[in-house]
Amino acid sequence: MTNSTERKTFTLFTDGACRGNPGPGGWAYILRTDDSEIECSGGDPATTNQRMEVTAVMRALESLTAPANVVIYADSQYVTKGLVEWMDGWIARGWKNAAKKSVANQDLWRVLAELREKHTLTTHWVKAHAGHPENERCDEMAFAEAAKF
């Protein structure tokens, strides 16, 4: 396996949006390295905001072809805390949360658990609608996707 110091480092900005919750939704990400930037987005006609937030990160990590260091900026504490604070406990409890209930959106979180094994992830929470340019761009793209339905 490649040492994490030898891996390429990516900066990832994500957002999810929903018109109604549940309702039509969209997700978006910006994936950046020192020499490139990719924007990607998609949507779902019937979903929730949390599913779109998680899907944005999942789709970005799935797009990486080799193990990488990924610094994630998201306005969803559900995503930032889920990846680095809650997931280990969920797994240890058989995908149950602290209240012993099944983890919501488990289908997506299980995929992220596998991706987390491949990549070295660091998360940062950013305040939504606070002028963070990449977060604002992801928000625009996610809402544009939701509006297609």
DSSP 90-114: HHHTTSB-TTSSBPTTHHHHHHHHH
Interval 57-79 mean pLDDT: 98
pLDDT in tens, 106-143: 999 999 999 999 999 999 999 998 999 999 999 999 99
Q: What is the pLDDT of residue 129?
A: 87
pLDDT in tens, 9-30: 999 999 999 999 999 999 999 9
Residue-range domains of the chain with CATH: 8-146 (3.30.420.10)
Asked if residue 144 has pLDDT above 60, the reply is: yes
Q: Are 70 and 64 in contact (CB under 8 A)?
A: yes
Tell me which residues are annotated as active site: 15-16, 53, 75, 129, 139
